[in-house]
Structure 1
Amino acid sequence: MTRTVLQSVLPKTLLARNIVLLIVLVMLSQVCALGVLLHYVQRPRVERAAAVFATYVTTLDNLLQATPLSARAELTARLDARAQLPAEAGEEPPASLLRGYRTYQRSVFLDSLREHLPADMPARWQSAGGQRLWIRMHGPAEAPQSSYWIALPIPEDAQGAGLDAAILLSLGLGALAALTGYGIQRHLNQPLQELTRAARRVSAGQTPVPLPTDGPTEIATVSSAFNQMTHALQQAEATRALMLAGISHDIRTPLTKLRLSMAMAMPDGSDSSFVVAAESYLDQIETILQQFMDYAGSGEREAAEPGDLNALIERLAGDFAGLGHEFALSLAVLPAIAYRPISMMRLLMNLMQNAIVYGGTGLAVRSWTTGEAVYVAVGDRGKGLSAEELEQLKAPFQRGRNARAHSGGTGLGLAIVERITRLHGGSLQFHAREGGGLEVWVVLPLTPDPATHPAPPGRPRPR
């Protein structure tokens, strides 16, 4: 429970957490330094000042008692002696949160002064109308009940004015330390941000530039390890491409020889149903092999080029129309975006082919833009899988329940589409179509960052 609350209170980023920790440590160090200053430096100093002041007051009281009556009247008049304590003189100095250190020092001074003065000589602090300290003096020997109050200036050590500059300097140094720590943390955070961007490029199928390794030892070690990992991935990718090319060649060669041998082995005029069935199975093997190759490649090595996405959609729709499958087009004016032509054509062909095979009716393609991303939606009116079921088919080798009647598939169609979409920095979404059926949305961001995955706000309409 405590850990959950702590996680909810702490900032999410490492930079913010380090800055908060730094500020807390600086504040704690300043509070401790101020406490040490007040308790071990200022307090003894104020107590010594109170003891000296008490000695002065006691000496003055004894002097006034020993002064002849005629001279005492003139002397007390000069001291502004009063029979009654003024109303503005309080028993304790007024508390102030902003000047708490002054209140603390005055309290220490009064407590120490009262310890050194006789019990019948109380002291009162006056703040209104000027800072003064009122002391009740003893009356003369012939009239001890005639005590009076005199006002004395407060010692400099009791007012705490000398700490203003020290505290301001301490706060300034604390702020400077916090700003310096912030700058250092920002400097250390830059390599982490570069590492994050490079990792996102790797996940998007791109090859990032090597990270610099001339920073702090810890960051340099991480960057060096990431560079080694990237190099190892490139080697593994090259090995995989070479292996797949070899497998494709080695498998297609005996398949071609098998077709030729079957055609030559059958005598003229014999039943060719076996040959037709065998060639159908061979075609399925070819299709499966090509799907594996498509999924393994997915266009990582293909360079992106700016182009008109609507022109590619219209060309594919024309090709399908020539095969007897009409797609209704609703294409908005789209900005030119950079995409991999062969990979994007494979993506759209897979989606349109799926709409034909599993939907059959209501074939349509529409496009629009929101200013942040370009959207292409391929829809049909079929009553097959729901959007939730299609989300699960993004994983490789997953086939839906409506695919049982269709042979030749491997469960890689949507996985190929998903990978190509991510390669372009976009996302693949499934939505229920108005009037029945489903739409598959391909969301391609307009920004060049391949790690960006914008999400559409609601259901945009074609413009």
Structure 2
Amino acid sequence: MRLRLPLGSLFTRVLLTLVLSFGSFALITFGSALYYVLYPVVQRSTADLAAFMELSARTLTLLPEQAQQEYRAKLLDEYQVRLLSGSEPPQGLDDFFYPYVFRLSQALSRRMEQPVHMKSNLIDGRRWFWVDLQTASGTVWAGIPRDRIGTRPMIGAVVICALAVLLVLLTAAILARRVTAPLTRLSQAAEEVAKGRSPEPLAESGPRELANLARQFNETSQQVRELLADRTVLLAGISHDLRTPLTRLRLALEMLPEETDPALRARMQRDIEEMSAQIGQAVELGGTLGAGERHREDLTQLIGEVVGSRPRILWRPLGRCMHSVNAQALRRILGNLIENALRYSNDTVEIRLDCRHQTPALFVLDRGPGIPDDEREAVFRPFYRLERSRNRNTGGSGLGLAVARQLAIANEMEIELANRDDGGLIASIRLPMPHAGDDTEAVH
């Protein structure tokens, strides 16, 4: 699973804030420990070792020859300090940086009152650090092995920094998730409401402010559901009340005398049918356009059923295409788009099916006037019609696309409109992802 942290998300901003805060605190703490605790200890330790090395070198020059050998052996055995006379300097010396030895060189420089630079070599696989000390009787080389110091500053620094970074990131991620998780659930639930769905009520728990926010959202969501239900009941009631006088008008129209103007009779009949159709579409829009059960369907067969024997439609089946979909919703969506294309185009309307991906797509292509870019989303609003090309003179009540969009949203489909390069409109329906273990099957 890839971790994606968009900079605009609340979780990322909270996480970065906590990381910067905890990281700054960790750096200040680490620096303070170095300066006020470790640095004084190192200073005292190197000063003591520098004094011991200088005193050992001066003592060596004051002893007789036989006692010098015993003294060297004792220093090497008990204190891991090796002394060599100036006539037998250590071989193969070179520069080797080591933080503790650097501080030891500074301590020796202060004690000898002259610049001192320690060098290093390997003796039987062990690294030694050497310094030439000037005494009244000549030069004495003093050396200590690396393992005498016993510190591994680089490894210690890496371990401390790694643990600090890990703890800071882990703590910050936990705190950020606790702060943003309720807001993320609220945002997802708000998106569901915006799409016309009814999400599950949010848990009214946690901090007082978040619990109160969840409670208010649940109440608002319930009010939205009640308003939609009231709208459906209202439209159903209006439809019922209007269909009765429409029926009486039809009966009165049939009972008109034979000498009635046929043109007047036909015009009245068209008006009655238009009113009936508009009432039906309004009820359809206000009705339950929710999600239905999805079953594996042959999209090729489904399209063929919707197309039927309609004229001016070009549909070439290319083989079976099995996919899990709400067949009833897809029929209504595709039917509305086809009627829309036939209404505003005098040429052939083409239907295409792309079954090459996990989310098949259906396309309805016409040669009508198209839709301006700035009104491409507005046409999905209920009762919205374009001024010039899609008005009452060309038919339509402005509800077909609104019904199709609501059905698509409720059933996890996507509808998009785009103008064709050489004139006309492309209406595309992107079907939802298949259920787990239920892949799309295309057979040509």
TM-score bracket, shorter-length normalisation: 0.7 to 0.9
Distance in 2 of aligned mates of 1:77 and 1:270:
139
Q: Aligned to 2:320, what secondary structure does the other structure show?
A: coil
Contact 2:131 2:141 in 1 (8 A): yes
Q: Aligned to 1:241, what secondary structure does the other structure show?
A: helix
Deviations, residues 321-365 of structure 1 (Å, cap 9, x unaligned): 4xxx25332234121433161x44432332222232222332333
Distance in 1 of aligned mates of 2:386 and 2:407:
19
Distance in 2 of aligned mates of 1:234 and 1:420:
16
Distance in 1 of aligned mates of 2:386 and 2:433:
32
Deviations, residues 136-190 of structure 1 (Å, cap 9, x unaligned): 22234xxxxxx31321437989674488568636643652453354456556665
Partner of 1:126: 119
Partner of 2:399: 412
Contact 1:430 1:441 in 2 (8 A): yes
Contact 2:195 2:409 in 1 (8 A): yes
What residue identity is the alignment partner of 1:412? L
Contact 1:309 1:334 in 2 (8 A): yes
Partner of 1:303: 292
Q: What TM-score do the two structures reach when normalised by structure 1?
A: 0.73
**Distance change >3 Å, CA 109–CA 205, structure 1 → 2:** same
Deviations, residues 193-239 of structure 1 (Å, cap 9, x unaligned): 54454344333332222233344555544433332222121111112
**Distance change >3 Å, CA 76–CA 290, structure 1 → 2:** same
Contact 2:192 2:198 in 1 (8 A): yes
**Distance change >3 Å, CA 219–CA 106, structure 1 → 2:** farther
Deviations, residues 2-28 of structure 1 (Å, cap 9, x unaligned): xxxxxxx97454445555555555544
Q: Show structure 1 runs of 5+ residues with no match.
A: 1-8, 96-101, 141-146, 450-460
Q: 1:108 is matched with which residue: 85, 103, 108?
A: 103
Given the alignment of the two structures, is residue 364 of structure 1 paired with residue 350 of structure 2, yes or no?
yes
Q: Aligned to 1:209, what secondary structure does the other structure show?
A: coil
Contact 1:347 1:420 in 2 (8 A): yes
Q: Aligned to 1:213, what secondary structure does the other structure show?
A: coil
Given the alignment of the two structures, is residue 49 of structure 1 paired with residue 45 of structure 2, yes or no?
yes
Given the alignment of the two structures, is residue 377 of structure 1 paired with residue 363 of structure 2, yes or no?
yes
Distance in 2 of aligned mates of 1:302 and 1:11:
34
What residue identity is the alignment partner of 2:403? I
Partner of 1:399: 386
**Distance change >3 Å, CA 183–CA 370, structure 1 → 2:** farther
Partner of 2:79: none
**Distance change >3 Å, CA 392–CA 230, structure 1 → 2:** closer
Distance in 2 of aligned mates of 1:59 and 1:236:
96
Contact 1:88 1:126 in 2 (8 A): no
RMSD over aligned Cα, in angstroms?
Answer: 4.1
Q: What is the CA-CA distance between 1:123 and the residue it aligns to?
A: 3.1
Once the two structures are superposed, the pairs formed by residues 210-225 of structure 1 within 5 Å of their partners are 210-215=201-206, 217=208, 219-225=210-216
Once the two structures are superposed, the pairs formed by residues 73-84 of structure 1 within 5 Å of their partners are 79-83=83-87
**Distance change >3 Å, CA 150–CA 305, structure 1 → 2:** closer
Q: 2:96 is matched with which residue: 80, 94, 97?
A: 94
Given the alignment of the two structures, is residue 421 of structure 1 paired with residue 408 of structure 2, yes or no?
yes
Partner of 1:38: 34
Contact 2:359 2:432 in 1 (8 A): yes
Q: 2:227 is matched with which residue: 211, 218, 236?
A: 236
Partner of 2:431: 444
Deviations, residues 357-396 of structure 1 (Å, cap 9, x unaligned): 222332333334123223222334x352268487355342
Q: 2:334 is matched with which residue: 348, 351, 354?
A: 348
Contact 1:89 1:124 in 2 (8 A): no
What residue identity is the alignment partner of 1:136? L
Q: What TM-score do the two structures reach when normalised by structure 2?
A: 0.75
Q: Aligned to 2:357, what secondary structure does the other structure show?
A: coil
Contact 1:367 1:462 in 2 (8 A): no
Distance in 1 of aligned mates of 2:252 and 2:391:
32
Q: Aligned to 2:321, what secondary structure does the other structure show?
A: coil
**Distance change >3 Å, CA 399–CA 416, structure 1 → 2:** farther
Contact 1:26 1:177 in 2 (8 A): yes
Q: What is the CA-CA distance between 1:131 and the residue it aligns to?
A: 2.7
What residue identity is the alignment partner of 2:85? A
What residue identity is the alignment partner of 1:49? S
Partner of 2:78: none
Deviations, residues 243-265 of structure 1 (Å, cap 9, x unaligned): 2222223333344444555666x
Distance in 2 of aligned mates of 1:30 and 1:173:
7
Partner of 2:283: 293
Contact 1:428 1:441 in 2 (8 A): yes
Q: What is the CA-CA distance between 1:48 and the residue it aligns to?
A: 2.0
What residue identity is the alignment partner of 1:34? F
**Distance change >3 Å, CA 75–CA 243, structure 1 → 2:** same
**Distance change >3 Å, CA 69–CA 271, structure 1 → 2:** closer
Seq. identity, %? 22
Partner of 2:321: 334
